[in-house]
């Protein structure tokens, strides 16, 4: 007789952690629905969460260790896998030292709450600090800027869309990416409340279609639009002087107003000066406002300075840590503390570029060069935890060449 049961859990793919109702038959996941009784997600699941039932049954799922022998995969037991990896790893460490071993963990890591600590703990136990993670591929600018502005890399804020009077979106299409439960209703509710939504995007996205204003910008030039807006806000004294005095240092830099004027900015970003001034006025004069930038900003040229100006715009208008502005959610645990623990509070610098550890990682994009380089500090063994560097790293030709150059490559997926 078929045994059927329903279990409740949460999705681990992203920080929204939506509640899930999982239907299991004979130890197989049959269906996954949003948990209607979950206090936050209230039954919501995005397409990624809904597709999770396939994770267990997908034909491509690897369920036992495999070793490549003479170019062909052979199934081996777990005992054999541990023994063989150990036998090949030991002489590498003895001959070239622990730093010849590296760990990369990818975007699948959050699916297990233990992955980050076990992956980094493993490499630390070997006495190597060569850790690389996916966040340094797509969000380097974000964590760098957050640390510079708020003093902590993971001090990520969220726009209070439910209460804001003006939502200014750069390079983001929330109606399609559905990045947190209820976002569709929140976005659609803006106009019902009389709040404004302005979307800056080279494309007329699904979100831009329902916005009050769509600003079509030359791709990658958001920086100049922000400069023009900030220039106008400072010149017209539309900034929140009290907030700046109470909560910030360094606002003198902005008061000097060495930013490009709206007219100068217009020539570089392709947005008319009149529009730049209009958006600056609407944003700064709103009772509450939130400016947000997502992947379109994070992966564009000048991403660091663009994101910095975006957060500066929020601060200059007094919209940080305020209802209707940007709010900080402490989350269920402090990521900065976790990273501090697993890195022993150290911020070593990368071999190439001398970049400090960010999110507890060297820049992942430099890993292929550190494998291919000459010299005693070369990476010779790599552990990949739920990631796919051959596809996601920049310059995949060089990355594949580097992976083939390793003495040992172990992938956990
Ligand atoms: S938004 Fe999607 S990916 Fe994120 S937790 Fe919810 S279901 Fe999972």
Q: What is the pLDDT of residues 32-43, one digit of tens each?
A: 999 999 988 889
Work out the average pLDDT over 139-166.
93
How many CA atoms does the CB half-sphere of 235 hold within 13 Å?
A: 14
Indicate if ligand 1 lies below 6 Å from the C-beta of 244.
no
Tens digit of each residue's pLDDT (9 = 90 or more) over 330-383: 777 787 887 787 777 888 999 998 998 998 899 999 999 999 999 889 999 999
**Does the pLDDT at position 305 exceed 80?**
yes
Q: Which one of 3.30.460.10, 3.40.50.740, 3.90.79.10, 3.40.1280.10 gives the CATH number of domain 76-138+334-412?
A: 3.40.50.740
For residue 152, how many other CB atoms are within 10 A of its CB? 16
d(CA 128, CA 133): 15
Question: Quick one: average pLDDT of 93-121?
Answer: 89
d(CA 12, ligand 1 centre) in Å = 7
pLDDT tens string 314-324? 999 999 999 99
Contact 148, 178 (CB under 8 A): no
pLDDT of 17: 84
Q: Which CATH class, in words, describes the domain spanning 4-57?
A: alpha beta
- Rounded Cα–Cα distance for residues 333 and 354 (Å): 30
Map out the domains of the chain as residue ranges: 4-57, 76-138+334-412, 157-328
- Considering only residues 61 and 164, tell me which one the structure prediction assigns the higher pLDDT: 164
Going from the Cα of 51 to the center of ligand 1, the distance in angstroms, rounded, reads: 10
Say which residues have a Cβ less than 8 Å from residue 67's Cβ, sequence separation at least 6: 73, 74, 76, 80, 81, 84
> Which residue's alpha carbon is nearest to atom 4 within ligand 1?
14
Helices (H), 97-164: 115-125, 135-138, 140-150
The pLDDT value given to residue 29: 92
Tokens coding 46? 């995005």
Least confident of 6-10, 138-142, 190-194: 138-142
Does the Cβ of 45 fall within 6 Å of ligand 1? yes
Ligand 1 centroid to 47 CA: how many Å? 8
Residues 113-146 pLDDT 10s? 788 888 888 999 999 999 999 999 988 999 999 9
Over residues 201-210, mean pLDDT: 96
Residue 32 Cβ inside 6 Å of ligand 1? The answer reads no
Q: Ligand 1 pocket: which of 16, 53, 178, 332 to mutate (most atoms <8 Å of CB)?
A: 16
CATH no. of 157-328 = 3.40.228.10
Q: Nearest Cα to 383, choosing from 128, 178, 34, 172?
A: 128
């Amino acid at each position: 007789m078929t045994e059927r049961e329903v279990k409740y859990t949460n999705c681990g793919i992203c920080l929204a952690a939506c509640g899930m109702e999982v239907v299991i038959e004979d130890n197989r996941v049959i269906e996954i629905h949003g948990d209607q009784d979950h206090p936050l997600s209230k039954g919501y699941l995005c397409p990624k969460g809904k597709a999770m039932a396939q994770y267990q049954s997908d034909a491509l799922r690897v369920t036992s260790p495999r070793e490549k022998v003479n170019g062909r995969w052979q199934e081996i037991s777990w005992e054999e896998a541990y023994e063989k990896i150990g036998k090949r790893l030991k002489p590498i460490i003895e001959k070239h030292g622990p730093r010849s071993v590296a760990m990369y963990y990818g975007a699948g890591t959050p699916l297990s709450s233990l992955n980050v600590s076990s992956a980094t703990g493993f490499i630390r136990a070997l006495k190597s600090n060569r850790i690389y993670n996916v966040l340094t591929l797509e969000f380097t600018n974000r964590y760098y800027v957050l640390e510079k502005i708020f003093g902590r890399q993971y001090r990520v804020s969220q726009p209070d869309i439910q209460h804001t009077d003006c939502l200014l979106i750069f390079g983001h299409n929330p109606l399609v990416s559905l990045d947190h439960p209820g976002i569709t209703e929140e976005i659609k509710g803006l106009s019902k409340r009389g709040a404004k939504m302005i979307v800056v995007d080279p494309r007329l996205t699904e979100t831009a279609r329902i916005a009050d204003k769509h600003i079509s910008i030359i791709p990658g030039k958001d920086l100049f639009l922000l400069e023009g807006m900030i220039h106008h806000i400072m010149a017209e004294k539309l900034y929140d002087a009290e907030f700046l005095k109470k909560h910030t240092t360094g606002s003198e830099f902005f008061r000097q107003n060495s930013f490009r004027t709206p007219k100068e900015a217009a020539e570089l970003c392709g947005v008319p000066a009149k529009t730049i001034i209009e958006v600056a006025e609407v944003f700064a004069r709103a009772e509450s406002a939130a400016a947000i930038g997502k992947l379109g900003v994070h992966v564009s040229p000048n991403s660091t300075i663009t994101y910095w100006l975006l957060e500066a715009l929020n601060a200059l208008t007094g919209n940080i840590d305020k209802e209707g502005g940007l709010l900080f959610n402490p989350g269920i645990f402090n990521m900065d503390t976790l990273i501090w623990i697993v890195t022993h509070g150290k911020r070593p610098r990368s071999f190439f570029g001398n970049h400090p550890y960010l999110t507890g990682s060297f820049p992942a994009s430099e890993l292929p060069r550190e494998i291919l380089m000459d010299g005693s500090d070369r990476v010779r063994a790599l552990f990949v935890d739920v990631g796919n560097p051959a596809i996601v790293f920049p310059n995949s030709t060089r990355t594949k060449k580097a992976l083939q150059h390793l003495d040992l490559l172990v992938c956990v997926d």
